[in-house]
Amino acid sequence: MNSAQVLRIFKDITRIPRESGHEEQITAYLQQFAAERGLACKTDKTGNVVIIKEASPGKENVPTLVLQAHQDMVCEKLASFDFDFKTQPIPYEIEDGWMVAKNTTLGADDGIGIAACLALLESREPMGKLECLFTISEETGMDGAFALEPGFFEGKFLINLDSEDEGQLFVGCAGGKESNASYTFSQEALRKGYKVLKIKVFGGLGGHSGDDINKERMNALKQLVRFLYTELQYDYQLLAIEGGNKHNAICREAYALIAVPEDEVQDMKEDVKAFNAILKAEFASSDPDVEAAVEPAETALKPIEEGDAAAIIATLLAIPHGVQAMSADIPGLVQTSTNMAAVHTKDGQLTVLCSHRSSVQSELSAIAEKLEATCFLGGFDIEHSGEYPGWKPNLQSHILEVSRASYRKLFGHDPEIKAIHAGLECGLFLEKFPDLDMISFGPTLRGVHAPGEKLDLASMERFVAHLNDIVLNFA
């Protein structure tokens, strides 16, 4: 296996629709891949796939290795970019040593993991038995990992290929859960002489709500409601708030529809202009392209009743977002965080999607309860779902030592051994297969879960060489 093979396969994968919950075409691709090469393949009722490559002659006594990646990807695009993930291939460029999708997500999370597995499966080099496991809907709730049944794979050593910093071996991750809150509001008539305006906050970098939450990037929804709250002193009507999409992505762009008296339209424009300057100053380093803007709008929506609108805006402002605690044991590791991911207005109801992560179970419960209390005070209903466990580090791991020794041999220095704040499926695997010995690693990716996601091609070469060496020499 070499990096050219992996990149070739990944380019094929970029042409296959595979949004979370719609993995049918990538599942069929994996099944066909196995059939064309005479490899055993199993698919469970959920859509998880395992492809099995038997040991080469002379390697029958090598312990079985399980290599794991997830089939789905986060499908995010710039609002201004006309693109359909269900029918069009991902547009990408090779630029300055990076493979980058400038207007959409690239899907290297976790398409590169899939491609590396497939390259090893078609390799003719001698190796022990491989079981390549491809789970579904990791990005929206780890549905595939939750649904795994005993006996679907047999190996006791597993390498998860879903990490994003080459040169780092991950041995632990945070657990998480989602919260969905809602507010049912009354509506009133548009006041006479009022004009509807669209207030927009956009141009944020966004990113992964686990890996990027500590980078102080702008959350467009939080900044939008910040502005709306300061404007409550004026007599405007709120019609809608919209922003965000995926629970594990930091919101990059959001807008509100408001109605103001015709003679105050210019004043509102001046306030937005002043707020734009504030955002540009506050986020000059983290989100240099952030903007706030206002434009006329037309809509059939009716305004939200004044008291309900005030409760909505105040509650959205009070909902926590960002890092809540740092680890006292592992320098630089986020211990607990929360992400206000999306807000939508439809049919007399405003809904809020939040996701929480922590490597300490009690803190995960506490941040969900803090949101619950905030919503209670604001008159919102709330329910929690999708909880998954963290992965406790095992520093005595055999696969860790093998991987560390391989990296040192190849590159002349030790890799970093770390835990990650993002959620990995490893915690669920360990619950279902308690004898598993696991690590996670991958090439360097940047901007995952946001348009502009990119893959460092030099890091991919090192990642491929490292994985290949582990597989060929595992014992």
| Active-site residue set | 72, 138
Give kind and range of the element (H or E) at residue 40: strand 40-43
List of E strands, 59-140:
65-70, 93-95, 98-100, 130-135
The two tokens of residue 172 are 């632990």
Amino acid at 70: H
Burial 411-434, CB ≥16 within 10 A → b, else e:
eeeebebbbbbbbbbbbbbbeebe
* ω into 235 cis (within 30 of 0): no
φ and ψ at residue 427, rounded to 5 degrees: -60, -40
Alpha-carbon distances, residue 429 vs 68, 177, 241, 347 (angstroms): 11, 17, 39, 40
391 bridge partner residues: 173
Bridge partners of 65, per DSSP, are 130, 157
For residue 21, give the H/E element and its range: none
- Count other C-beta atoms under 10 Å from residue 216's C-beta: 13
Half-sphere exposure of 392 (CA within 13 A, CB side): 6
What are the distances in angstroms from CA 247 to CA 218, 375, 381?
A: 16, 18, 18
CA–CA separation, 345 and 312 (whole Å)? 11
CB–CB of 208/76 below 8 Å?
Answer: no
